[in-house]
Amino acid sequence: MPVFTSFREDILLTETEKELQGDASGQKTFIYNSTKNRLLFVKGPDSKINHIGPVSFSEDGKKCAIIEAKSADENNFILYPKVSRLLIADVNDNGEIESYKPFTHNEVGSTINSAFIAYEGTALYFSSDRTGGFGGYDLYVSYYKNNEWTMPENLGSNINSPGNEVTPCLKDGGLFFSSDYHMGLGGFDIFVSQVNEGVWSNPENKGFGINSSADEFFPVFNSLDEFFITSNRLGGKGNFDIYKAFKLTPEKQIEQMASTTPPPAVNLEELAVQTQSPPNENKSATQADAKKAFFLPEFDVNKIGSNATATEVSFAGAYRVALQETIPNTEVFFIQLASVSSLKPDYSKFKPLLKYGNIYKMANNKILKVRLGYFSERREAEDILVKVKQNGYKDAFISFELLNTAQMELVLTGTDESSFTDKGNFNTKNPEVEKSYISPSKYKVRLASYEDPIWFDINKVKDLGRIEQWTKGGWTIFILAGFNNLEEAKKAQISALNRGYKTAEVVIDNGGILERLKQN
């Protein structure tokens, strides 16, 4: 998965995320989640997003080193972070970062501007301007032994110089780093040094192509041995861009030595577009390469999501939260219509808006927020907002936040019989279309319950009926609906059983309350 740090401000924060951020801006670290096809924030302690990064993951994906730093000047962020500290954290089986602990050897009055965690989290190479070095920033190493980090060791005068050595990366016994002092082609260049019996060799400049007359930082390899750098060379899209270096064939080496063309940049801008857009099957080759930039172990489905037996989750208190597929922890747009203090407000007045989306209620302390939605793209939400205001809701506004099914309830939808009878909800007079949305029967089929609904495969059963999601005490209950009678529901139940849903059973939706079918 690609992981990168940036000062960009075009990735929107949810309302909750905004509340947790003490500062308006700062560098943020992003990780591309291929399962959800979107950029997500890497969060520090207390869900902090601003001033997080750079980040280094161990090769086994179980540990990470996080720089938390502030800088007054993003152009000189590497050399002049105002305040910084290094954190060591664990990565759980879900891929979530947790258990943040400050690095034991952070020092007041000095900074750590970059770090690389190696050997499955047992070695830490980092750059610091602490006292006792050979110049500005020097490279150090600390080892994790007996449940603690050893005193950092300076890597010596072969590596370090009177200048600055930063952004270390270890690969196959070679230490790659950036320096502005060793003989180079420009400002900061990428060098590599090999260790032999504890002694580092004189650094070797990686040469033209990797280096340029500008600055190069952050050498990184992925699982495919592809090489990435960060550079402010000419031809980029901004201040510092990420580039991918290709290994040359012998016949191309002479040609490359005479060339002045920089290697093509990895187009992370396209990844940002995807965070506001639905997945596109026609992805470019550049995007495909970017997705492979970094790799963490695949999630273990058996550890994350599991079916509950029929007796593990009762229906008492369950309520519907979605139609079709809803993935929690996804950023979406709602249109907030009203805030009410009544525990039982009259939702019928919102029926004319059902042609634009479903009506949800969301609890926030003692206040209920009534919202229309949800929408995956801001432009769609803005277009709908104009129509909502034309319907008399002058104070309506757009809310952007994580989709949290534990805090939302679907109260009105155009697929309900009571909602469908309201004129104008659907632009059709075709009875067959109406029939596909509504049926007089309240018989439904309960398929399974999941602690994590991301592992429910909607494609296995979407041909059997309309999918609904209900929630109860942290569990998501998946329901098949849209049947005309009990016999149709029982046929769907048998099909679901044959497809592996061993807990499939016919249930009754009694006015929003799920009940089990009484057995004769």
Please, which contacts does 422-430 make with residues 24 or more away whose CB atoms are closer than 8 Å? 422/351, 422/352, 422/354, 424/352, 424/355, 425/351, 425/354, 425/355, 426/355, 427/355
The full 3-state SS of 389-408, as one line of letters, equals: HHCCCCCCEEEEEECCHHHE
Residue 274 has pLDDT above 60, yes or no: no
d(CA 21, CA 12): 13
Pick the last residue of a domain from 228, 258, 291. 291
Write phi, then psi, for 432 (nearest 5 degrees). Answer: -65, -35
In the prediction, which pLDDT does 492 show?
92
Q: What does the longest C-alpha to C-alpha distance in the chain come to?
A: 88
CA-CA distance, 201 to 157, in Å (whole number)? 10
pLDDT single digits (tens) 179-201: 999 988 878 999 999 988 888 99
Please say whether the beta carbons of 158 and 196 come within 8 A: no
Strands 189-196 and 174-179, how do they pair? antiparallel
Helix %, strand %, coil % of the chain (to 5) = 20, 35, 45
* Helix (H) / strand (E) containing 117: strand 112-118
Among 286, 282, 426, residue whose Cα is nearest residue 351: 426
Question: Are 26 and 70 a contacting pair, CB within 8 Å?
Answer: yes
Res. 434 pLDDT band, cuts 50 70 90: very low
Per-residue burial over 282-298, b = 16 or more CB atoms within 10 Å of its CB, e = otherwise: eeeebbebbbebbebee
Lowest-confidence region among 283-297, 367-381, 473-487, 501-515: 283-297
Which tokens belong to 156?
Answer: 């010596």
How many Å apart are CA 493 and CA 480, to the nearest integer? 9
Q: Which of 334, 398, 491, 157 is nearest to 506 (CA)?
A: 491
Q: Quote the percentage of the chain above a pLDDT of 70.
A: 72
Same domain, yes or no, for 447 and 428? yes
Sheet order of strands, 408-412 included:
397-402, 331-340, 367-375, 358-364, 408-412
Adjacent-strand bridge partners of 194: 174
Same domain for 267 and 408, yes or no, is: no
Does residue 296 fall inside a structural domain? no
Residues 397 and 328 in one domain: yes
Host domain of residue 27: 3-291
DSSP H or E segment with residue 268: helix 268-274
> CB count, 10 Å around CB of 241?
19
Same domain, 185 and 317: no
pLDDT of residue 284: 45
Q: Decide: helix, strand or coil at residue 28.
A: strand
Regarding whether 404 and 272 lie in a shared domain, the answer is: no
Count of C-beta atoms within a 10 Å radius of residue 262: 19
Please tell me the number of Cα atoms within 13 Å of 81 on its side-chain side: 26
Sequence-ordered list of residues with C-beta below 8 angstroms from that of 350, at least 6 positions apart, any chain: 337, 359, 370, 372, 412
In a domain, 313, yes or no: yes
DSSP E strand boundaries for 160-256: 165-171, 174-179, 189-196, 199-200, 204-205, 216-221, 227-231, 241-245
- pLDDT band at residue 52, thresholds of 50, 70 and 90? confident
Residue with tokens 């029982």: 490
pLDDT of the residue at 74: 66
What 3-state DSSP class applies to 279? coil
Enumerate the β-bridge partners of residue 190: 178
Claim to verify: residue 261 and residue 332 sit in the same structural domain = no
229 lies in the same domain as 309: no
Q: Is residue 377 part of a domain?
A: yes
- Asked if residue 377 and residue 279 are part of one domain, the reply reads no
Q: Is residue 144 part of a domain?
A: yes
Does an H or E element contain 88, and which? strand 83-91
Is 18 inside any structural domain? yes
pLDDT 10s digits, 76-118: 777 777 678 899 999 888 777 888 899 999 988 889 999 999 9
Q: 209 and 334 share a domain?
A: no
Say which residue the tokens 């965070």 belong to. 275
- Tell me the pLDDT tens digit for each residue of 402-415: 777 667 888 887 66
Given 267, 291, 315, which residue is the final one in a domain?
291
Residue 167 belongs to some domain of the structure: yes
Closest CA to 373 of 363, 385, 364, 365: 385
Q: DSSP states of 471-512 as a string?
A: EETTEEEEEEE--SSHHHHHHHHHHHHHTT-TT-EEEEE-SS
For position 258, which CATH number holds? Answer: 2.120.10
Q: 364: how many CB neighbours lie within 10 A of its CB? A: 9
pLDDT of residue 417 exceeding 70 = no
pLDDT at position 173 is: 86
**Do residues 52 and 66 make contact, with C-beta atoms less than 8 angstroms apart?**
yes
Number of structural domains, the chain? Answer: 2
Question: Mean pLDDT lowest for which of 292-301, 423-432, 456-465, 484-493?
Answer: 292-301
Judgement on whether residues 264 and 305 belong to the same structural domain of the protein: no
In order of 158, 167, 169, the CA distances from 192 in angstroms are 11, 12, 9
287 and 366 assigned to the same domain: no
Residue 106: inside a domain, yes or no? yes
3-6/28-33 β-pairing:
antiparallel
Amino acid 63: pLDDT: 93
pTM of the predicted model, to two decimals? 0.54
CB 468 within 8 A of CB 481: yes
Using a 10 angstrom Cβ sphere, with 0-12 exposed, 13-18 middle and 19 or more buried, the burial of residue 72 is exposed
- Domain boundary among the residues 259, 291, 323 is at 291
Residues 284 and 308 in one domain: no
Residue 416: predicted pLDDT:
58
